[in-house]
Structure 1
Amino acid sequence: MRVGTANIASGRSPAGPVLDAHGLGQAVADLDVDVLAVQEVDAGQPRSHRADQAAALATGLGAEDWRAAATVAGTPSPFPTWTPADPALRGPGPSPDGPAYGIALVSRLPVLEWSVLGLGAGRARLPLQGPDPRTGRLRWWWIPDEPRVAVAARLAHLTVVATHLSFAPHTSVRQLFRLRRWIAGMAGPVVLAGDLNLPGGVPARLLGATSLVRAPSFPASGPRVQLDHLLAVGDGLRGRDAATTALPVGDHRALTVTVSPH
C-alpha cells in the first residue's frame, strides 16, 4: 500500500489564492496514495470558501472513508477568535456547525477502527506578519500555539497515525513522546505520518523508528529541511519507491512511499 503526508496550508496555492473544493481535490489526485495524512485542514472557514476540505481531499483521491479532527473551533487569525477543540473525530456526513481547523486522515482502504489522541498545546507564541484591522497596515502579531491531535486508522495489516506537532521544538518533542506511548499499545506495525516540525533524523531517533523517506520537504519552492515524515514504528515494514512531490497547494512538499511487510 502507498502512504503519504501533505501539509495543505488551508488550501493556499503557491501563487497565493486559496483553491476551492474541486481544485483542492484535483491538487492531490495525482498522488495516487491509499492513505493520506493531511495537516492544516479547514472546514467552513471564510478564507477557504467555507469548503469541507477533508471531504474534498477524499473526493480527489477516490476515497470513501476519512476522519477529520479539529484542533480549534473558530477562525485562526492573529485575533482571539478561536477556542481549543476537544479531541473528536468527524467523518463523511454533515459539515461542522461552525468554522474549524485541524488535521485529517483519508483512506481508500477499509478501516477497521478509528481513534484519536489529544496532545495538548505549548505556551510558545509564533511571530506572524499580518494586516492590522484598524489601519490596514502590516504589523507583527504573536500567535499562540493551538492544541495538537493525532488520528489513527487501523487497517488490515498495519496502523497509520497522522499528526501535526507544535512549532515549538520542546513542545513537539514532548508530544512525540506521548505519541510513542500511545503507539506502543497498538497491534502490529505502525506508520507515523505528518508534519512533525522536527528536522531530519530527530523524530526517528526519538521514536526508535525507521525513516521511510529521507528528503527535505520545506519550503516547497526550494526544500532545505525535512519537517514532514513517514516513519515505520516497530518491526515488520519496509519501504520502497519513496518520493517527494511539489503540489499545487500548500507550502510543504508531499511525501509518499510504498510500504509492505518484511
Structure 2
Amino acid sequence: MIEELEQARAAGFTIAYEPVDGDRARALEPALGDAIGAAVELHGQRYLNPGNFVRALADAVRERGGEILERTEVSGIRDLGRGVAVTTSRGQLHADVAVVATGAWLDALVRPFGVRVPVQAGRGYSFSVPAEGAPTRPTYLAAQKVVCTPLGEGRVRVAGMMELAPAERPVDPRRIRAIIAAARPLLRGIDWAARTDTWVGARPCTPDGLPLIGPTGSPRVYVNGGHGMWGVALGPLSGRLLAEAIATGTSPAELAPLHPLR
C-alpha cells in the first residue's frame, strides 16, 4: 500500500499518510481485530453516501430547469444533421447534441458512431450491516480488497469483488459469502447475519483503464463513461471538461488521451 502511495506522490499528487502498528490501528478504529499487525492512516480523505450524492445531483439539475426522465430506456440515437433524435421508451426526444453516459451499457449506443473501445461490466458487490461493532471511519482491507464505509442512519456499507460478467446478471450469493469470509478474520463485532441491501453494481471498465470522454464520429454525439471504480470522483470533473468542450468547440488538453475514437 505504501508503495502505491509513493508512486502517486512521484506522479505529483500530495498524499499525507502515516504507517501505524496494530495497536495504534485498533486505538484509531476499535472494530479492527487482533489479526491486524500494521496499517496506514490516510489524512485529508473524504467519503460520502453515493445514493444521497446522486439524488442531490438530480435535485441540482431540476433546480436549474433541467428535466430527468426516470425509468426510461434509451434504445438508439440518430444524427439528423442539424441535431439528434433519441429513441426512448417514452418516445423520441430531440436535442442539439447527445451525451451518452450510460456506464456499462455504452457499447450498443455509441458503436454506430465509430467507438470501438469496449466497455465491460466489472461488477462490485455490496451490502450494509448495523453500525454497532462496525468501523466508524472508511476502512480499506487492502489485501482482501474489501471496503467499509459509514453511510449514516446506523448502517455501514461493506463492498468488494471485481466480477467480469454481464451487467444484467443477478446477484451471485457466493460473492457475498466470499466478501464476508475475507473480512471476518480482520473485523470484530460486526453482525454479519443482520446484513441488508445486498446489491451488485456494474462498474464500466475499459481495456486500458482510461475512460472515454469526448466526441464520436458524429459532431453531435459525445461520450462520457468508462470510469471504472472512479466514477464518483472523476464523473463531476469529466462532466465539466466535456461541457466546456461542447460549449466552446475547443477540447481541453486533459481530454486528449481519453478520446473515444482512440
Q: Same fold judged by TM-score > 0.5?
A: no
CA radius of gyration, larger in: 2
- Greater per-residue strand proportion: 1
Task: Identify, as 1 or 2, the structure richer in helix.
Answer: 2
Q: Report TM bin, short chain.
A: under 0.3
TM-score (normalised: structure 2): 0.27
